[in-house]
Amino acid sequence: MEEVDLRAMSRRDARDYVARHIMMLKDVRKRRAVLQEDFTRWESRVEHARKEGHDELASQAMTRLSEIANSFESLSAEEKELSANVEALKRRLHMIESGAGGTLNVEALSAELERAAGGYSKTDEDLRYLDADAELKNLKRRMNEEKDS
C-alpha cells in the first residue's frame, strides 16, 4: 500500500479513510471464509466422485478445487497485507489525534475502530455519547459565533 499522509487530511477524512480500509479488510475476510466453504464442498465432491468410480468427474472437481485453492491463497496474502496496513493506519491516526490536542477522544476512536475491525470495544451507547458531546460543542460554538455577529 502506498503511504498516505493522514496529517494532510481533516480529522473526519482521516477517520473515514481508515474506516474504509477496515471495511475492505472485513470484506476480504468474508470472501476468504466463503472460499474456505467452497473448498470443503468441492473436496467432498472429489471424494464422492472417486468413491463412485467417476474418474472424469473427479478430475473436473479437482480442477475446480485447485482454482479455489489458488484464489484462497491470493486472498490470504491480500488479507495479511491489508491487515498490516490497517494496523499501521490505526497507529498513525492515534498518534495524530493524541498530538492534535483536539476535542476528539482518541481512546473512543480507537475503540470504535477496533469494534469495526471485529475486536473488543466500548459500548455503542458510550460512542453515541461521544458523538453527541462533539455535536453539542459544535452547536455551542456556532451559537456563540452567531451571537458575536
Query: How much is the pTM?
Result: 0.60
Handedness of CA 67, 72, 77, 79 (dihedral sign): positive
Residue type present at position 105: N
Instruction: Note the pLDDT of residue 102.
Output: 47
Q: Are 25 and 86 in contact (CB under 8 A)?
A: yes
Query: Residue 9: how many CA atoms within 13 Å on its side-chain side?
Result: 16
Confidence of residue 9 (pLDDT cuts 50, 70, 90): confident
pLDDT in tens, 65-121: 999 999 999 999 999 999 999 999 998 888 887 775 444 566 666 666 766 666 544
